[in-house]
Amino acid sequence: MFQRFGVCARVASASSVARILVSVKSITANQKNNYYSSITAHTTPTCAIRSFGFQNINHKHRSHSSYCLIQYNKSETEFLINEMNSKHLSAGSPYPPLKDGKLRFYNMRFCPYAQRSLLVAYAKGVPLDIVNVDLKDKPEWLFEKNPGAKVPTIETAQGSLYESLLVSDYLDEVYPKGPLYPKDPFKKTLDKIWMENISKVTGPFYRIFFAKGDAEKIKEGLKELLEGLELFDKELKKRGTLFFAGNEAPGMLDYMFWPWMERIPVLKLALPDALDYEAQKVKNAALEKWRQAMKNDPAVQAVYISPENHHLFMKSFAHNPKPNYDLLAE
Ligand SMILES: N[C@@H](CCC(=O)N[C@@H](CS)C(=O)NCC(=O)O)C(=O)O
């Protein structure tokens, strides 16, 4: 099954791989409404993409020798989730029919909880059918999928599931390739404890943004936020690794924490004089190194929103009855 959305390529070097990825991106941008089509592209004489897509594999170039299947190379599944920036459906919108071979994922482009599960889906190469929903004017059918009508919600063959941590765990289990938890039960439980600790960052973060300029509330929120960030910095220093999951790649805890760390730079835009931001980076050096490494992760990059756009959205959210969900809509 996984071969269905892999890329068969003959690879000469790392730079060839990079060229393949560039090529795949440009092709798929043009073919974004046609995921099922087979794509054949040639980059260099030593490096040719032979087939792409997960319904219809193109076998016609099988005569070429020394193919390797690059399974789960994260960047290659980027096109699978390029519905991410589609318009948010609101009340009265007809229920969009399910798509074969894809997992229906109800999303809101700026939701950090949905982002958690998108990161996991992306990291594991899960083909998604993303439907963005307007959370202030919810489509009626969303309540049938999740009584709270929140995102993320996914629709599986057995029914709907929701809650970002649980959906992420489900995806990790159902798509076993590239497990995101440590095998060791103690380490896995420890990571789950740290997932609970994420609220020590998210709580004050939102209190600052919803303080509506109340200087006392902002000061209190910033103090708590810095304490929360320091906890994570200390934990990383204790582990002595680049990511919480080790030195190689992010794991579940890394992905569950990231969405708020992507949003932290918004503070500097919203409250430029409230903190010595550079000094904070030096103080929380392990966390800053982690942040930079996370920014290079293909899953993070695929779903990434810039601080400027987060800021625009958060302003629209804090000050308007109707947030600008479609800020990035194409
Ligand atoms: N605990 C939930 C929180 C999800 C959540 O609050 N999502 C927000 C968007 S960021 C939502 O759907 N809000 C709509 C509502 O509360 O009605 C999770 O982890 O999935």
Indicate the DSSP class of residue 135: T
Q: How confident is the model at residue 9 (pLDDT cuts 50, 70, 90)?
A: very low
Retrieve residue 270's tokens.
């919203």
Judge whether 326 lies within some domain. no
**Test site for ligand 1: of 89, 119, 151, most ligand atoms within 8 A of the Cβ:** 151
pTM exceeds cut of 0.75: yes
33 pLDDT higher than 60: no
- Among residues 201, 198, 281, 194, the alpha carbon closest in space to that of 239 is found at 194
- Among residues 116, 151, 84, 88, the alpha carbon closest in space to that of 325 is found at 88
- What Rg do the C-alpha atoms of the chain give, in angstroms? 21
Orientation angle between helical segments 185-197 and 215-239, nearest 10 degrees: 170
pLDDT tens sequence across 233-256: 999 999 999 999 999 999 999 999
Bridge-based pairing state of the strands 68-70 and 7-9? antiparallel
28 pLDDT higher than 50: no
- pLDDT at res. 247: 98
Our count of domains for the chain comes to 3
45, 102: one domain:
no
- pLDDT at res. 82: 62
- pLDDT at res. 48: 25
- Ligand 1 atom at minimal distance to the Cα of residue 148: 17
Q: What is the distance in A from the centroid of ligand 1 to the CA of 132?
A: 13
Contact residues of ligand 1, CB 6 A cut-off: 108, 111, 113, 135, 149-152, 163-164
Cα dihedral 117→249→199→275 (10° resolution): -120
Letter for the amino acid at 175?
A: Y
Letter for the amino acid at 55?
A: Q
- pLDDT at res. 81: 53
CATH of the domain at 209: 1.20.1050.10
Judge whether 307 lies within some domain. no
pLDDT tens sequence across 168-178: 999 999 998 89
128, 146: one domain:
yes
40 pLDDT higher than 90: no
Show which of 151, 174, 197 is a domain's final residue.
174
Q: What's the domain range around 282? A: 185-296
Judge whether 319 lies within some domain. no
